[in-house]
Chains A and B, each alone.
Chain A
Amino acid sequence: DAKTTQPTSMDCAEGRAANLPCNHSTISGNEYVYWYRQIHSQGPQYIIHGLKNNETNEMASLIITEDRKSSTLILPHATLRDTAVYYCIVRVEGGGSNYKLTFGKGTLLTVNP
């Protein structure tokens, strides 16, 4: 899996949008960008994933640059419960040996009241 780079920590005010960046400059054409988060003392939670088009679901939006070398996860209206470590992971979809997720250190997002 390609390596990703994320800021160690970020702060966001409650009710505002949280924009979490991720660099994946060595991403391959068949690698997807996945986002997970881990709230303290809980299991990792799947958020969203995408290949090259922007994606949106009930939790977040994922914006992938045209060259696919970076992406941004957007939480449109952050709440205190969104305080967590957010992981950006690139992974081949389609089997082979890259079936597992490899977690880095992620970004600790702290949402402040």
Chain B
Amino acid sequence: NAGVMQNPRHLVRRRGQEARLRCSPMKGHSHVYWYRQLPEEGLKFMVYLQKENIIDESGMPKERFSAEFPKEGPSILRIQQVVRGDSAAYFCASSRSQGAYGNTIYFGEGSWLTVV
């Protein structure tokens, strides 16, 4: 059973460009979470999605960041007009449900964004 798959693993963007990070959840998982880890800092929640719905985006910066989890295909975290402060590791995680059982959250290996 493949784990949470993220790509690209490493991405370099110039200031002002767009970054798109993709996440395929574990098989059978329909809940996706995105976290960000700035250099030398802790993991911070960004957004929680179910298929075609954003449930909680309380941790997303108000501008330039968006996330989606379409009916078909991976979840996408999109960062428009990147700035140096966006350089970080972005982790995707997934769970089977939100209910009483099966909602252990599993993480991918991360996408490392460097803005130059």
Contacts and interface: CB of A to CB of B under 8 A. Distances in A.
Interface residues of A, number: 20
Contacts of B31: 99
Nearest to A106: B42
A101 B109 contact: no
Contacts of A105: 42
Interface string A13-43: 0000000000000000000001010100011
A75 B91 CA distance: 25
Given A44-B91, A46-B106, A93-B103, A99 B48 contact: yes
Q: Looking at chain A's contact residues, is the secondary structure mostly helix, strand, loop, or mixed? A: loop
Contacts of B99: 94-95
B45 interface: yes
A44 B43 contact: yes
B105 A101 contact: yes
Interface string A102-113: 111110000000
B98 A99 contact: yes
A49 B98 contact: no
A45 interface: yes
B108 interface: yes
Interface of B: 4, 31, 33, 35, 42-45, 48, 55-56, 91, 93, 98-101, 103-110
Interface string A79-113: 00000000000000111000111111110000000
A42 B110 contact: yes
A43 B98 contact: no
A46 B33 contact: no
Contacts of B104: 34, 46, 49
Contacts of B35: 103
Given A45-B107, A99-B56, A99-B98, 5 more contacts: A36-B107, A38-B43, A42-B110, A43-B108, A101-B105
A102 B100 contact: no
Contacts of B44: 103
Contacts of B107: 36, 43-46
B9 to A, nearest CB: 10
